[in-house]
Chain A
Amino acid sequence: GIQVEQSPPDLILQEGANSTLRCNFSDSVNNLQWFHQNPWGQLINLFYIPSGTKQNGRLSATTVATERYSLLYISSSQTTDSGVYFCAVATWTGANSKLTFGKGITLSVRP
């Protein structure tokens, strides 16, 4: 099956700093999503981005599908950005688009 690797595994930032989170995947994908898992375990949708670039406030994401990677940018980080960030991908098999998740990146933003 498809493999998803996220880096770095852990990241510690001072409030106000910028960061880049990376997701590499091993096959062509039809679906790529970035999630933030908050301390209560809820997966919050950040981006649906199988290709191209999107921005939402301080967050932006870019997926280069031909090179099989995606980047999540966090600017001017805040303590509320802390948590685990997951990249998840899917290859289209019929109508099923089951997601394969990476192991996540644990971000800690210090005040």
Chain B
Amino acid sequence: GAGVSQTPSNKVTEKGKYVELRCDPISGHTALYWYRQSLGQGPEFLIYFQGTGAADDSGLPNDRFFAVRPEGSVSTLKIQRTERGDSAVYLCASSSPGTSGNEQFFGPGTRLTVL
């Protein structure tokens, strides 16, 4: 596609439920990043994929958060037993290391609200 796409754009769930957020990167981009942005703050890094493998998951806040990228393209961020503190905008970015100096391009985000 022309840009990074994310679905859904909005997700409202109840505390304790499971959610999945999807990211479709720019075609051909091998690097994929997930970030989380809370109100009034800059985005914060969660996890980085190079190809199919999670090369750096140091930003995941706890083991309720997990992400996969099974075919090296689309990625899914999974959150178990959601808590109200998980409410935020979840952003996905992709890049092509080695070209354009690894400039990252962001999707529109998924706004998650946990009631």
Contacts and interface: CB of A to CB of B under 8 A. Distances in A.
Interface of A: 30-31, 33, 35, 40-43, 45, 48, 50, 86, 88, 90, 93-104
A45 B48 contact: no
A42 B56 contact: no
Contacts of A94: 55
B101 A43 contact: no
Interface in B24-49: 31, 33, 35, 37, 41-45, 48
A103 B42 contact: yes
Interface residues of B, number: 29
Residue among A31, A35, A97 having the largest count of chain B Cβ atoms under 10 Å: A97
B100 interface: yes
A31 B102 CA distance: 7
A45 B103 contact: yes
Interface stretch (B15-23, B62-70, B72-80, B105-113): B105-113
A99 B41 contact: no
A86 B42 contact: yes
A33 B91 contact: no
15 contacts: A31-B102, A35-B106, A41-B111, A42-B106, A95-B55, A96-B48, A96-B56, A97-B95, A97-B97, A97-B104, A98-B56, A99-B33, A99-B104, A101-B42, A104-B41
A97 B102 CA distance: 7
Given A42-B106, A95-B31, A99-B45, A48 B101 contact: yes
B59 interface: yes
A33 B103 contact: yes
A30 B102 CA distance: 9
Contacts of A40: 108
Contact of B55 (A42, A50, A86, A96): A96
Contacts of B95: 97
Given A41-B108, A103-B42, A98 B48 contact: yes
